[in-house]
Structure 1
Amino acid sequence: MNHLLRTAEERRREIQSNADRMGIDDAYISELVETFYARVRADADLGPIFEKEIGDNWAPHLARMKDFWASVAMNAGRYTGKPVPAHTKLTGVDATHFQTWLGLFQQVLEDTAPSPEAVPYFMERAQRIAKSLQLAMFGLQNLPTRN
């Protein structure tokens, strides 16, 4: 069969197999999300933004983020939210917050990843997501560029 003409199910199985090979499973996703958001809450810049938006409702947010990252990393198909509207309604957020977020995310991955290749696997996806959200929030002219 031509590798360019895979079915959605074949693609899903390939993603799940790759994630499995890297040690990415629901238990790791849970550890990643719990560790990451504990650090976000403790961060001087990000903590107040999340606290203002989430308050005492962390359990539903963490559950939603576990479904989100399971869907992103393992093609689990459990996330049904709308991240763009959720982020565009935020006030007081700028592009530097995304860089802080990505830096914390990378640090958590380096501290917890089940395999070395899981770090760039997640970071590629996180960077793509951050860029998409920034584009929606700030427009093309305000997207940060890499040096």
Structure 2
Amino acid sequence: MNDIQNLTSIKLLVDDFYHKVRLDGLLEPVFAGVIENDWQPHLDKMYAFWNTVLFGVAGFKGNPFAKHAPLLINADHFTRWLELFSQTVDSHFEGPVAVDAKSRAGLMAVMFQSKLANMKGGPGRVIV
């Protein structure tokens, strides 16, 4: 099994991950409420996002937290998101970039939950 190497690898990861999201009873309703049936613009953003995060390739423009802030999501959603993301990475890749992708996803989940809790005026429940 190879490591995540380039944009082609990222597209495989993102496409398979969001295929799983669409089948997930907890996560699918969150995305369906925003994306409806027009997934390609979101997928394109995620390709650019992960290409920037993992390889430093300029191309992602946006504020991921601002997009998530208005959603009705909680620690259970982040836990499931991380489970699916890690499963997807592990099913296709192994190596330092794959480990980095999972680590960065975990850090983002903690940061997003912390910011959401602050917006709501409390510490919330942050998963690790």
Q: State TM-score, norm by structure 2.
A: 0.89
Contact kept in structure 1, 2:13 and 2:88, CA below 8 Å = yes
Structure showing greater Rg: 1
Q: Does 1:142 align with 2:124?
A: yes
Q: Which has the higher contact order (CA 8 A, sep 6+)?
A: 2
Query: Counterparts of 1:44 and 1:143 in 2: how far apart (Å)?
Result: 21
Partner of residue 32 from structure 1, selected from 3, 13, 20:
13
Counterpart in the other structure of 1:48: 29
Query: Counterparts of 2:4 and 2:10 in 1: how far apart (Å)?
Result: 10
Where does the alignment leave 5 or more consecutive residues of structure 1 unmatched? 1-20
Deviation digits for residues 7-28 of structure 1, max 9, x if unmatched?
A: xxxxxxxxxxxxxx94420100
Partner of residue 85 from structure 2, selected from 83, 86, 105:
105
Using the TM superposition, give the Cα deviation of residue 143 of structure 1 relative to its aligned residue in structure 2, in angstroms.
Answer: 3.9
Number of aligned residue pairs:
124
Counterpart in the other structure of 2:98: 119
Query: Counterparts of 1:29 and 1:39 in 2: how far apart (Å)?
Result: 15
Q: State TM-score, norm by structure 1.
A: 0.78
Deviation digits for residues 63-90 of structure 1, max 9, x if unmatched?
A: 0000000000101121111111100011
Moved over 4 A (4+): none
Where does the alignment leave 5 or more consecutive residues of structure 2 unmatched? none
Contact kept in structure 1, 2:4 and 2:10, CA below 8 Å = no
Matched position secondary structure for 1:142: coil
